[in-house]
Amino acid sequence: MYVRLRSLAFFPGFRPLGSDRFASRNTNPAEVQDSMLVGVPREVKDQEFRVAATPAGVREYAAKGHGVLVEQSAGEGSGFPDVEYRAAGAQIVERADEVYARADMIVKVKEPVSTEFDLLRPGQILFTYLHLAADAPLTETLIRTGVPAVAYETVQIENGILPLLTPMSEVAGRMSVQVGAHHLEKAHGGNGTLLAGIPGVAGATVVIIGGGVVGTNAAQIALGMGANVTVVDRSLDRLRQLDTMLHGRMNTLASNTESVADAVQRADLVIGAVLVPGAKAPRLVSEAMIASMRPGSVVVDVAIDQGGCIATARPTTHSDPTYVVHSVVHYCVTNMPGAVPRTSTIGLSNATLPYGLMLADLGLYGAIARDAALAKGVNVLHGKVTNAGVADAFGLDYTPLLDAMRIEAAA
């Protein structure tokens, strides 16, 4: 559903964010703005092979009159060579700094890392996953530079669904069981339990903390592989839904300290799948709980990009994905879907493209006036933190989005 924030009409002189080349100062969100130059840099995070736009997505931007800059080889890791981007209408540039210097909007997959901080420009829309509640340096950079930052993971529609986070949560949830099964193998540090078991020998016990998108997908795969599955969640309604959806084939537990501790102690594989949109993940599994697990058990904390829901979790990379605490193998890679980039890139682009087109067509203010879900994606604007979860994570002042816009209008 589209929602118009009519109060924008009272902000005279607003210049549509995202392009220094926009001549119009019209604040009517119903009117399409001038063309925008969209930049797609190559991802630089460790073994991150996804790309923010496919050639099909570039073609959609071009069809609406927008230019697209794609850094050389940005799509090769996902199976999209430069020649396909050129055929779709993109201009291929050799260096990331040229993309950042020229583009009105930067569309990425993962949050900028330190080597990219100095490339960001005030007024240039940043549209990507940010996970700011677990990233103080990036939060400080966005505040200091005044870059308008729109986070995929906090775009939220009325029913609470996070449409731009969902596809990667689906991938990560399914992958969590794959990597968990892999690391349960003795050669990879595990206790030597086959997830599926065999006739006469029980399969592994899998405990999933959180029954959202990640947890649901993890449960589906674990059940399909023959594991004994328990999902823990604080919402009884959600547990009822999962019980019906999965035909009673798994156990469900209401979340409290005792139930989590008991479940974790019995588990061969624990999957952390807790999410509070925009905020730092709550630590529901304590170090004492991890210490109670059998040696060679495995933990996969999918919530690690929001700080992790397991006390002993710390971020790892695809190059060095695991470490051991209390004889328990921990897998805490912050960009799990990057390991399956072809699937992940297409799934992500399918979800983000409509919102990217809206930003390109209308500019930032017009787009967030048109779509209330996109407005929730704005985490930082003009140096003000406009997401309460991010502000709370660092003890910063929270500025409601409209107030941040008023401050800019008065400047």
Residues tagged active-site: 131, 305
Residue 244 has a CB neighbour count (10 Å cut-off) of 9
Identify the CA nearest to 334 among candidates 364, 362, 312, 301: 301
Q: Give the C-alpha separation, 295 to 341, whole Å.
A: 33
Cα Rg, the chain, nearest whole Å: 22
What the block records as the tokens of 278 is 């925009």
Phi, psi (degrees; rounded to nearest 5) at 108 = -125, 180
20 Cβ contact partners less than 8 Å away, ≥ 6 residues apart: 104, 123
Asked if 125 and 66 touch (Cβ cutoff 8 Å), the reply is no
- The alpha carbon of 402 is separated from its chain's Cα centroid by a whole number of angstroms, namely 24
What the block records as the tokens of 287 is 């170090």
Identify the CA nearest to 250 among candidates 240, 237, 235: 240
